[in-house]
Amino acid sequence: MNAKSKWLSVLDVVSIAGFVAAASMVFFYAPMERVMGLVQKVFYFHVATAWIGMLSFFVAMVAGIIYLATHRTRPDAMKWDIVAVAGVEIGLVFTLICIVTGSIWARPIWNSWWTWDPRLTTVTIMELAYAAYLMLRAGIEEPERRARFGAVYSIIAFISVPLTFFSIRIWRTIHPVVIGGSDPSASGAFDMTPRMLQTFFTSLVAFSFLYGSLLWHRIRMGQLAAKVEQLKLRLSE
């Protein structure tokens, strides 16, 4: 049961190939943006990581809901808790990458690493909410209760995700909205040429494969950890 699945190996290879393809398209295929120059190339991975972060938190919330709905009736509901933790951990990492790449871009374009813009603020709140999720779990020893509270908090914390997503569309902000409508007050917005669009979608797809592979690995790790825990219990009996 615990041997690495053949399909997971295939997925690993596909995501590495996709990542290499996306990176080379970013550097050699996509044209240089006229005003911003080289630093604009951060955009392709910045948006892709933001998308993966939010998707991952969504996965965690759905897993949490399924856990809460099934844990009373089904003994194997714990697997959904493993999925939820995997989702939150990966989402945290990708959101952090998104914030860091955004900062790298903002330094030359907005002339500052950080501004208290609605988008930047809401994304940080989101990151902190999910960091709190991990701290909540760390404070509870009993696995069943940890899973239950984790599921509840993954639902509550998810409120911050749509808030982050729509923040640039609701409030006046200097964060550019490249996809779907542009706000004149945003600074650093641009229109994508076809080549840019192709590069953008390639990196979205590449990151999605990477995400699938990471999620699968993390879930597998969670299952193995649960098994180790059981073996330890059996030894101590």
Partner 1 sequence: MKALSNFWRAMLAIVWKDLATEWRSRELISAMLVFALLVIFIFNFALELTPQTRNDVTSGVLWVTLTFAGTLGLNRSMAVEKDRGCLDGLLLAPVDRTAIYFGKTLANFIFMLLVAAIILPFYSVLYNTNLFVGGLLLVIVLGAWGYVSIGTLLASMAVQARTRDILLPILLFPVTVPLVVAAVKASSGYLKLLDQVEITPWLSLLIVFDLIFTAIAFLVFDSVVEE
143 binds partner 1 (CB under 8 A): no
Alpha-carbon dihedral angle through residues 165, 166, 169, 174, given to the nearest 10 degrees? -50
The CB density around residue 6, as the number of other CB atoms within 10 Å, is 8
Of these, 10, 17, 20, 128, which contacts partner 1 (CB under 8 A)? 128
- CA–CA distance, 173 with 170 (Å, rounded to integer): 9
* 132, 157 Cβ separation under 8 angstroms: yes
**Smallest separation, CB 13 to partner 1 (Å):** 38
C-beta closer to partner 1: residue 121 or 223: 121
The CB density around residue 201, as the number of other CB atoms within 10 Å, is 14
Stretch that binds partner 1, among 12-20, 29-37, 130-138, 201-209 (CB under 8 A): 130-138
C-beta closer to partner 1: residue 74 or 145: 145
145 binds partner 1 (CB under 8 A): yes
- Which residue, chain included where needed, has tokens 């609605």? 118
149 binds partner 1 (CB under 8 A): yes
By CB atoms closer than 10 A (0-12, 13-18, 19+), residue 224 is exposed
**Smallest separation, CB 121 to partner 1 (Å):** 8
**Smallest separation, CB 58 to partner 1 (Å):** 16
185 binds partner 1 (CB under 8 A): no
- CA–CA distance, 203 with 209 (Å, rounded to integer): 10
* 177, 168 Cβ separation under 8 angstroms: yes
136 binds partner 1 (CB under 8 A): yes
Integer-rounded Cα Rg, in Å, for the chain is: 20
68 binds partner 1 (CB under 8 A): yes
C-beta closer to partner 1: residue 105 or 158: 158
- CA–CA distance, 44 with 195 (Å, rounded to integer): 12
Stretch that binds partner 1, among 25-33, 138-146, 176-184, 196-204 (CB under 8 A): 138-146
C-beta closer to partner 1: residue 139 or 180: 139
Site residues, partner 1 (CB under 8 A): 68, 122, 125-126, 128-129, 132, 135-136, 138-141, 145, 148-149, 151-153, 155-157, 159-160, 163
